[in-house]
Structure 1
Amino acid sequence: MYTEVANLNFSSNGSVDDPLSSLDQEWNEPPAKRLSRTGHHVMSVFLGSIMVFGFINNLVVLILFVKFKTLRTPVNMLLLNISVSDMLVCLCGTTLSFASSLHARWLYGKHGCMWYGFANSCFGIVSLMSLAFLSYDRYSTLTVYNKRAPDYRKPLLAVAGSWLYSLFWTVPPLLGWSSYGLEGAGTSCSVTWTSQTPQSHSYIICLFIFCLGLPVLVMVYCYGRLLYAVKQVGRIRKSAARRREFHILFMVITTVVCYLLCWMPYGVIAMMATFGHPGLITPILTVVPSIMAKSSTVINPLIYILMNKQVTIEIHPLPLELWDM
């Protein structure tokens, strides 16, 4: 499917059209052209904090999930999927950009850059699609309420679907439809937003429509309908089970809002870099949105731990039970 495009992008003579050749030139540039050494050190502090706390927070979520059977509910399967993808971002992505920031340059060559761009894009889309599936789950649960036993089949299908969908959209740049390259301060990689080729533009348009616009529209629709329904029945006395469902709804909405607040600035900057005037977005201007996007790996598990009543109930005696693990 992408063979013809790949031949256009990866020419054998190492011309300007070859993204890997141009990438070699990019990471051989003096760091001063991108960010001062002090700036890189400040950035490494933020990245190091995100890497450590993101990993620890998501590890705690995984331990709680394994430790306490009561937490293994259908809705928590999707939240667990987000924690897994966030932890993989910390392990496979943030570690590389952190080390590169310490040295004020990208350390891992063109293939490492391609891996970094692919991995971060893949795990990020998995989280976003999981949130979209969560929104539909909350919508269907609260609007078509029943007392049947928990159904794990749909959440597991949603988990598998989120990974397959993400791979469908993040593998093409490895095959020639657009590409992954250095971004921002030159210590991280992503889709080459600034490429002016038709292949790159077509991919970026599809990426924003199907991996950002579509899931966000699903979430807005589902939560809009749910909030309207909540307002309609606000004066009606709700059962304890119903109140639990609304509490979960509030937790999921909080997760979605925080995730979008972290990622939307990066998305806006990326779109401006792609379709704006050349030079409109400087590399340094992308640093803060990039760090904000990565910070979602720290925030998501905190919301899950602090706002989930099941977790609060279970971890109260945790210090005494840790010895049994």
Structure 2
Amino acid sequence: MFSEVTNINLTSNFSDDDSLTSLGQEWSDTPQERLSRTGHKVVSVFLGSIMFFGFVNNLVVLILFCKFKTLRTPVNMLLLNISVSDMLVCVCGTTLSFASSLRARWLYGRHGCMWYGFVNSCFGIVSLISLAVLSYDRYSTLMVYNKRAPDYRKPLLAVGGSWLYSLFWTVPPLLGWSSYGLEGAGTSCSVTWTERTSRSHSYIICLFIFCLGIPVLVMVYCYGRLLYAVKQVGRIRRTAARRREFHILFMVITTVVCYLLCWMPYGVVAMMATFGRPGLITPVASVVPSILAKSSTVFNPIIYILMNKQFYRCFLILFHCKHQMTENGHSSMPSKTTAVQLNRRVYESTPAATGHISGSPQYNKDCISPASEKAEPPDPPALPDIMP
């Protein structure tokens, strides 16, 4: 979403043509701590790993979408949008900061700095908003039962809306409401957190409220309600629902914790750099939160996609591991039904009485090996697949 946090003296990084006055920014005259050559090498190792694994993980997801038609469901359009935005961050953003870290200085001048800050913010916000919309989709489809044919209109509107929403918040710094500039260890760019103007402060406050705070609240609320609904069913059908409840509990905790670990440290450090005393956040202190935020491009496809049962089955087929699908008996075999026939009176008394998840695994031979079709079917789930 953003890059690193603390502004530094730019005179040694920009060419004479790219003077400080041309940047239109006020920079501190006091020299600030810079990373050592060894520190830059360590950062480059982390950035190189994030760039490689983030690209590969999201590329696998895109290949799965192209190869298996069964994955092209409405809710999976949001997952595809997350992978596309994360891959663009790796290609258009992380590559630049990785190369700069190898040389221990920013290599691409003023315009490259503005480009880096813009694309990193834009693609990052698209990913964050998509994660929040995905949590709302899982919550809303649990509470509102809908037997109609799959509707691609709403997910596609959500995908387009995430990009428009992101542009709405990332274009203003290019037009004068705040700005993008070189920051932190001097090898990446983002919003100029330490610019001491009311215009910059107003933009940063709005950015954090609408692009970090609200998505966090949406995810916590939706997944909290979703987990509560699952626990209600678990009390009624303890044997049938227990495994599903533990699985969903694990996924909810993993989702929220990884989201907060990736983005909240960066958010806290950025706010301290914005409203704290000058020099409070050093370049060294800003590097770790920045790397954590960038690492979301690696973890997102694992948590939201590769741990999804549909994607996992297709993943095994793609890499010719079909025999693994039958080793555990029914554990990898999708059920032909999406919910058991609970007692109507008891079932309708729970929040999940009308539950149906549009993204739950569907029976499709594209992702099922012939051997697994003959396996003994599993116990029917007590609830549709709410989480991957």
Per the alignment, do residues 228 and 305 of structure 1 end up closer, same or farther by CA in structure 2, a change over 3 Å counting?
closer
> Who wins on radius of gyration, i.e. which is larger?
2
Q: Deviations over 1:182-238 (max 9, x none)?
A: 111000001000110110000001101111111212222212222222222223349
Per the alignment, do residues 58 and 244 of structure 1 end up closer, same or farther by CA in structure 2, a change over 3 Å counting?
farther
Per the alignment, do residues 319 and 136 of structure 1 end up closer, same or farther by CA in structure 2, a change over 3 Å counting?
closer
Q: Which residue of 2 aligns with 1:289?
A: 289
Q: Which residue of 2 aligns with 1:268?
A: 268
* Contact 2:139–2:226 (8 Å) recurs in 1: yes
Q: Which residue of 2 aligns with 1:20?
A: 23
Q: Deviations over 1:165-194 (max 9, x none)?
A: 000000000000000011110000010001
| TM-score after normalising by structure 2 | 0.72
Show structure 2 runs of 5+ residues with no match. 1-17, 322-388
Alignment map for 1:294-309 (pairs within 5 Å)? 294-309=294-309
How much does 1:272 deviate? 0.4
Percentage of matched positions with identical amino acids: 84
How much does 1:120 deviate? 0.6
Q: Which residue of 1 aligns with 2:202?
A: 202
Q: For 1:122 and 1:54, how far apart are their aligned partners in 2?
A: 17
Q: Which residue of 1 aligns with 2:368?
A: none
Q: For 1:306 and 1:88, how far apart are their aligned partners in 2?
A: 19
| TM-score after normalising by structure 1 | 0.85
Q: Which residue of 2 aligns with 1:120?
A: 120
Q: For 2:251 and 2:259, how far apart are their aligned partners in 1?
A: 12
Per the alignment, do residues 116 and 15 of structure 1 end up closer, same or farther by CA in structure 2, a change over 3 Å counting?
closer
Q: Deviations over 1:280-310 (max 9, x none)?
A: 1112110011011101111111224441111
Q: Give the secondary-structure state (helix, strand or coil) at the position aligned to 1:182.
A: strand
Per the alignment, do residues 227 and 304 of structure 1 end up closer, same or farther by CA in structure 2, a change over 3 Å counting?
closer
Q: Which residue of 1 aligns with 2:68?
A: 68
Q: For 2:170 and 2:22, how far apart are their aligned partners in 1?
A: 17
* Contact 1:19–1:179 (8 Å) recurs in 2: no
Q: For 1:149 and 1:250, how far apart are their aligned partners in 2?
A: 30
* Contact 2:79–2:305 (8 Å) recurs in 1: no
Q: Give the secondary-structure state (helix, strand or coil) at the position aligned to 2:272.
A: helix
Per the alignment, do residues 299 and 217 of structure 1 end up closer, same or farther by CA in structure 2, a change over 3 Å counting?
same
How much does 1:149 deviate? 1.9
* Contact 1:85–1:126 (8 Å) recurs in 2: yes
Alignment map for 1:22-37 (pairs within 5 Å)? 33-37=33-37
Alignment map for 1:91-110 (pairs within 5 Å)? 91-110=91-110
Show structure 1 runs of 5+ residues with no match. 1-13
Q: For 2:72 and 2:275, how far apart are their aligned partners in 1?
A: 44
